[in-house]
Every structure is written in C-alpha cells, then in structure tokens.
Chains A and B, each alone.
Chain A
Amino acid sequence: KAGVTQTPRYLIKTRGQQVTLSCSPISGHRSVSWYQQTPGQGLQFLFEYFSETQRNKGNFPGRFSGRQFSNSRSEMNVSTLELGDSALYLCASSAGVGYGYTFGSGTRLTVV
C-alpha cells in the first residue's frame, strides 16, 4: 500500500510569510503526527491528531498549528515565518499508540 505522502517536497519562503504543508497518511491510519528536524535540535515533536482532534502538542509557539480532516489527511501551518523555522518537517502516521509510526519523506522548508 502507499506510504505517507508529504507535499510539497521543497519550499522557499520569506520571513514574515506563512506556509501550509500537507500530509496524506497510510490508508486506514487515523493518527498523524508532525515533527521538525534541524541539525541543532534534532527531531522534535510538534503535534499529533487523531480523528480530527489534537491529542498531543509539543513545546512550540502558537505560530505552529495543524488540523486533520475527516479522511485523516493533515495540514500544518506556520505563520509569521522566522529564519529559525528552516527545517525538514516530517509527518508520521500510525494505526494507534504502540503500533509503530511510518514517516514520510518530509518537506524541506527554507526561510530567507
């Protein structure tokens, strides 16, 4: 079956702009999580959605938000972009807690 699909793969934005990233989970997976990966901080949890509800949130400012649709597809939004938001943003889907998490290839965001 198809894996986790993230779009777009690459994105360049200017400081102050906003951006929306998309994630389509594995068919049947209702949990979608988002992570930020940077060389300095490593992989950090942003938030997790299950059945359109945010169940868990990491320690990121309110500029980072997300949502999940009824078909389990998810989007994350970053407003008022800062240079430090440049990162690889990864989406992972799961059938449930303790059932493993499958990651997409990520969206590489560069803020200039």
Chain B
Amino acid sequence: GESVGLHLPTLSVQEGDNSIINCAYSNSASDYFIWYKQESGKGPQFIIDIRSNMDKRQGQRVTVLLNKTVKHLSLQIAATQPGDSAVYFCAENEGTALIFGKGTTLSVSS
C-alpha cells in the first residue's frame, strides 16, 4: 500500500490498497490524540483516538500508531474503499482545545 514518511497534502491510492497517513504533532505534553475524517460540506467526523499511555490502537479497518519519541502519529486504513475519500486531520489536545494538523486529502480510485 501507499505510505508517506512526511506529511503530504494529498495521497492517491487504488481501491483495496492499504493507506498510511502521517502527522507530526508539536506538544510533547499532549496526552490525547484524535483522527478525524472530513467530507465535503460536512464537519469533521471522529475516526479513532489514542491516549499517550498507548502506542497502538485498532478500530474497524483503521489503526492509529503513536510514537512519542519523535512526536509522530499515523493512521492506517486497511483495504481502502472509495467511500474513504476525504480529508483526514490529526488533532492533539492542548488543555480543552484541539490543535489540528494541516490535513491530508485521500483520493481512492476504483
């Protein structure tokens, strides 16, 4: 599947591939991280979250990996489908606020 080492604004994959979206966060004191999916005309939709006392968490077709040493977060989507096409954002908490990354546009072609 496609993967990116650094944040890229766009990622194009074929249906059925595995996708990996990366994100770097800034605050080493952040203890809660969330991945959101945003489709055109809609608000961000929660995908999966992870706390800083974990390094991996799995959901349905999605896995989030947290590397606190290098302040890096990744979202893995298995068997990517056309319906996964959207903009994906990572967010870290700063107190009661969420600080969002720049977002990666995932395009899935069939």
Contact = CB atoms under 8 A, between A and B. Distances in A.
Interface of A: 4, 31, 33, 35, 42-45, 48, 50, 55-56, 58, 90, 92, 97-98, 100-106
Interface of B: 31-32, 34, 36, 41-46, 49, 51, 89, 91, 93-103
A97 B93 contact: yes
Contacts, number: 59
A102 B36 CA distance: 10
- Which secondary structure dominates where chain A touches chain B? strand
A104 B96 contact: no
A43 B87 CA distance: 12
A101 B34 contact: yes
Contact of A48 (B51, B96, B100, B101): B96
A103 B47 CA distance: 12
B97 A45 contact: yes
Given A50-B96, A100-B49, A103-B46, 5 more contacts: A33-B97, A48-B97, A97-B96, A98-B32, A105-B41
A100 B42 CA distance: 18
A43 B89 contact: yes
